[in-house]
Amino acid sequence: MGLKAGIVGLPNVGKSTLFNAVSNSAKAQASNYRFCTIEPNVGLVDVPDERITKLEELVKPNRTVPTQIEIVDIAGLVRGASKGEGLGNKFLANIREVDAIVHVIRCFEDENVLRDEGAINPVSDKEIIDTELQLKDLESVDKKYQRSEKLAKTGDAKVKAEFEVLKRCKAHLEQGKSIRSLDLSKEDKAAIADLFLLTEKPVLYVANVDEPSMHTGNKYSQALQAAVADEDAKVIVMNNSIEAQIAEMENADDRELFMGEYHMEEPALNKLIRSTYSLLQLQTYFTAGVQEVRAWTIHEGWKAPQAASVIHTDFEKGFIKAEVIAYTDFVTLGSEAACREAGKLRIEGKEYIVKDGDVMHFRFNV
């Protein structure tokens, strides 16, 4: 599944430093000047999951393939981006292509790091980007609203329903609110799907703090958390520079020693990546055999044939059944053969809703 999360924020808040830390396939330039990132950097990120490591230990396959998310480092936005200021149009177009937003916000003081917006104010920084995205969405909604208003007078029920959704979206945006906070049904969302609204995308906030505040946060990160309390959004507190240093260490013992000095059990990046995965309402199932142990990404609530389609579309078309072992049973008993013998391998049909961690094999005929 080609799923993308875009790292966004004002200039010089630590976006590219975070990208360098989080990406295992690309390195973004991180420099202390505006618009350092012009073309978006893209990297594939392994989703940390101790379950695939455990399956690898038990099965001893020829290779192991974790699940991944594509991370995009997008140019820094400035006030007026919705009207084309800075790299506004390019920035907004890049955001439109991602599935979720990782919003990095500066929560540290450092006179050596340039800042255009005056004193450190994470709430104001958040609002600048929110406003620009809302203004761009309002522009998109307004155009369709005007067309729909005329067509709605014809009496067509579908067009009229669409117009009502647009009316609600327009009013919500005009109040300075993002579409994701508007209670839209599945049908409502379908009516505006062609607009690819920026403020409909789920958001995860990263409070980039100084070293002393890595574990406890500070007044800036606390202000940010209070500001997003009604958004049902998660705030990850971390020091991007420390995370980048950890990511650059190739030796596992060196990483452990370094993290020990900062009293870290694991990189904060792991929590960030898992949170992004969860933000997109994704889950994992596994295939486990001698040739390969592999994690597969699906959406929560998918049925067995849909889950099979991420391996190959033929698996969904010719789906017959799925052989399913719960992850806990597989680990407890130690092998597929032992699970089969103990009656822990189940045969499931087309209506089975896949559970996170299921170990599966599909039977199909095309």
Instruction: Give the residue numbers of the binding site for ATP.
Output: 12-17
Cα–Cα distance, 217 to 230 (Å, whole number): 20
Helix (H, G, I), strand (E, B) or coil at 93: helix
CA nearest to 316, candidates 354, 283, 280: 354
Residue linked to tokens 């379908």? 190
Give 169-219 as a DSSP string. Answer: HHHHHHTT--GGGS---HHHHHHTGGG--GGGS-EEEEEEE-GGGTTT--H
H or E segment and range at residue 350: none
Considering only CA atoms, which of 266, 281, 289, 264 is closest in space to residue 359?
A: 289
Using an 8 Å Cβ cutoff, are 46 and 60 in contact? no
CA distances from 8 to 75, 98, 111, 117, 343 (A): 7, 11, 22, 16, 49
Q: In angstroms, how far is the first alpha carbon of the chain from the final one?
A: 22
**Consecutive H or E run containing 138:** helix 122-152
Answer for the pair 335, 287: CB distance below 8 angstroms, yes or no. no
| Torsions phi, psi for 238 (to 5 deg) | -160, 165
| Strand stretches in 221-340, DSSP E | 235-238, 282-288, 292-299, 319-325
Which residues define the annotated binding site? 12-17
- The interaxial angle of helices 122-152 and 88-96, nearest 10 deg, is 70
